[in-house]
């Protein structure tokens, strides 16, 4: 019996599902091999660690709660547990309001800047158009002066 | 099927008011523990166990008298628990992570401190349960059901075969493979 053989049969050794001869050999090896003894201790304690947990008691109000759950299920008008979408409604509304306000602020800012900028451009273009029409821009004034002095 | 079960079912079908309460009181422990042994969370297990009884209440007419009432309850409890696990994979992952980060370092599979890691004194019972739970959770579904029913619900191979609607040899094979897989996982965990 070597360490590898012990490891291959360790669960069988723990839950007594291997032949007695094999079990006796493993026991002998574990008695003289520290590393296998430690491995056996750990695996055995872990493998059997569920036992105590499964002794967990059933809630004393199990039936009362079940009865209530069943009653709620049977009578559709009594809705104790509202649907997720209903429960989320105030949150969704809040988020929508915040989004709406943010969008409003964002659009308001951008549009007003754009409009002012656009208006400025438009006004400058308009003034230039009028000015050139009535010879009031620098270039037109110059050409007017040139025209008169040349005359 | 025992006479008492047959009577109970008949009374339920006849809408006998006290029959449902009797059925629950008789089987709540079996149903709750079956759910708990698969889910490993008492509140969720209680919730699922209640759903099991609600299904029994609603579909009692469909109950086939050829199987035992407990076999039927095990089947519903297993199906509901597995559905719950499938639907709440993220929740289970979060819980494992919580235990992983909130718990002792020894629960960390990659922990470097091999002395404390390998010392049984420093690893408490809860952590060992977590290690075993992680190993059991990683088993293929059928192996997991058969192994859980055998080891934790203490059902015989024959009973498991009835619950899972498999042959006795299939159950033997499932449990054997489950144990080999667990052995491999636990050796890897404690040797590294
Ligand atoms: Zn050894």
Q: What was the pLDDT predicted at B103?
A: 47
Q: How far apart are the first and last CA of chain A?
A: 127
Q: What was the pLDDT predicted at B70?
A: 94
B120 contacts A45? CB cut-off 8 A = yes
CA atoms lying within 13 Å on the CB side of residue B18: 1
Q: Which of A11, A38, A58 sits opposite B182 (nearest CB)?
A: A11
Q: How confident is the model at residue A130 (pLDDT cuts 50, 70, 90)?
A: low
Q: What was the pLDDT predicted at B108?
A: 34
pLDDT tens for B3-54 read 588 889 999 999 888 999 999 999 999 999 999 999 989 899 999 999 999 9
Q: Which residue of B has its CA nearest to A11?
A: B183
Q: What was the pLDDT predicted at B91?
A: 72
B183 at the A interface (CB within 8 A)?
A: yes
B25 contacts A50? CB cut-off 8 A = no
pLDDT tens for B144-181 read 999 999 998 899 999 999 999 999 999 999 999 999 99
Please list, residue by residue across B40-70, b when 16 or more beta carbons sit within 10 angstroms of its beta carbon and e when fewer do.
bbbebbbbbbbbbbbbbbeebeebeeeeebb
Contact B43, B26 (CB under 8 A): no
pLDDT tens for A52-98 read 544 678 899 999 999 999 999 888 665 545 556 556 666 667 777 77
Please list, residue by residue across B123-149, b when 16 or more beta carbons sit within 10 angstroms of its beta carbon and e when fewer do.
beeebbbbbbbbbbeebeebbbbbbbb
CA proximity to B74, closest of B161, B176, B178, B170: B161
**pLDDT exceeds 60 at position B87:** yes
Q: What was the pLDDT predicted at B81?
A: 95
Average pLDDT over residues A130-137: 51
Measure the CA–CA gap between B68 and B124, rounded to whole angstroms. 40
Q: What was the pLDDT predicted at B124?
A: 66
Q: How confident is the model at residue A40 (pLDDT cuts 50, 70, 90)?
A: very high
Measure the CA–CA gap between A53 and A98, rounded to whole angstroms. 48
Distance from CA of A34 to the nearest CA of B (A): 12
Q: Which of A98-107, A132-141, B161-170 has the highest mean pLDDT?
A: B161-170
* Token pair in block for residue B131: 């290690």
- Taking the mean position of all CA atoms in its chain, how far away is CA B79? 10
B46 contacts A56? CB cut-off 8 A = no
B187 at the A interface (CB within 8 A)?
A: yes
Q: How confident is the model at residue A141 (pLDDT cuts 50, 70, 90)?
A: very low
| pTM for the predicted model, two decimal places | 0.68
**pLDDT exceeds 90 at position B184:** yes
A73 contacts B118? CB cut-off 8 A = no
- Chain A residues close to B132, C-beta within 8 Å: 46-47, 49-50
Q: Please tell me the CATH code under which domain B1-88 is placed.
A: 1.10.1740.10
Measure the CA–CA gap between B132 and B117, rounded to whole angstroms. 15
Residue matched to tokens 């964002």 = A106
What Rg, from alpha-carbon coordinates, does chain B have?
Answer: 19
- Lowest mean pLDDT segment, chosen from A13-17, B66-70, B107-111, B188-192: B107-111
Q: Where are the domains of chain B?
A: 1-88
- Tell me the pLDDT of chain A averaged across its residues: 74
- Own/partner contacts of B122-130, CB < 8 Å, gap of 24 or more, are B123/A42, B123/A45, B125/A49, B125/A52, B127/B103, B128/A45, B128/A46, B128/A49, B129/A49, B129/A50, B129/A53, B130/B96, B130/B99, B130/B103
pLDDT tens for B105-134 read 333 332 334 444 455 555 567 788 889 999
Measure the CA–CA gap between A133 and A130, rounded to whole angstroms. 5
Helix B168-191 / helix A34-47 crossing angle, nearest 10 deg: 130
CA proximity to A53, closest of B100, B133, B17: B133
**pLDDT exceeds 50 at position A135:** no
Q: What was the pLDDT predicted at B178?
A: 97
Q: How confident is the model at residue A138 (pLDDT cuts 50, 70, 90)?
A: very low
Q: Which of A41, A59, A62 sits opposite B120 (nearest CB)?
A: A41
- Chain B residues close to A17, C-beta within 8 Å: 179
What Rg, from alpha-carbon coordinates, does chain A have?
Answer: 45
Q: What was the pLDDT predicted at B125?
A: 79
Q: CB-based contacts of A145: which residues, under 8 Å, 6+ apart?
A: none
């Amino acid at each position: 019996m070597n360490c590898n053989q012990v490891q291959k049969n360790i669960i069988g050794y723990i839950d007594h599902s291997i032949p007695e001869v094999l079990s006796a050999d493993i026991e002998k090896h574990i008695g003289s091999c520290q590393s296998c003894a430690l491995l056996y201790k750990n695996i055995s304690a872990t493998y059997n660690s569920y036992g105590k947990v499964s002794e967990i008691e059933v809630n004393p109000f199990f039936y009362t709660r079940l009865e209530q759950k069943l009653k709620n299920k049977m009578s559709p008008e009594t809705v104790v547990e509202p649907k997720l979408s209903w429960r989320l409604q105030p949150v969704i509304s809040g988020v929508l309001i915040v989004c709406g306000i943010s969008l409003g602020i964002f659009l308001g800012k951008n549009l007003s800047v754009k409009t002012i900028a656009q208006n400025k451009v438009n006004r400058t273009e308009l003034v230039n158009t009028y000015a050139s029409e009535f010879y009031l821009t620098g270039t037109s004034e110059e050409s007017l002066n040139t025209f008169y002095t040349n005359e | 099927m025992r006479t008492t079960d047959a009577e109970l079912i008949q009374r339920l079908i006849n809408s006998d008011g006290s029959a449902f309460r009797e059925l629950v009181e008789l089987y709540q422990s079996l149903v709750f523990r079956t759910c708990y042994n698969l889910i490993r969370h008492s509140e969720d297990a209680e919730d699922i166990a209640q759903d099991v009884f609600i299904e029994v209440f609603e579909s009692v007419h469909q109950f086939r008298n050829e199987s035992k009432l407990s076999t039927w309850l095990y089947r519903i409890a297993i199906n509901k628990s597995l559905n719950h696990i499938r639907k709440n994979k993220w929740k289970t992952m979060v819980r494992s992570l919580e235990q992983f980060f909130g718990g002792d370092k020894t629960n960390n599979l990659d922990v470097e401190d091999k002395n404390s890691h390998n010392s049984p004194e420093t690893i408490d019972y809860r952590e060992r349960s977590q290690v075993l739970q992680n190993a059991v959770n990683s088993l293929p579904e059928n192996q997991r059901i058969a192994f859980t029913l055998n080891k934790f619900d203490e059902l015989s191979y024959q009973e498991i075969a009835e619950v899972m609607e498999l042959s006795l040899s299939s159950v033997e094979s499932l449990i054997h493979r489950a144990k080999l897989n667990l052995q491999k996982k636990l050796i890897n965990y404690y040797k590294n």
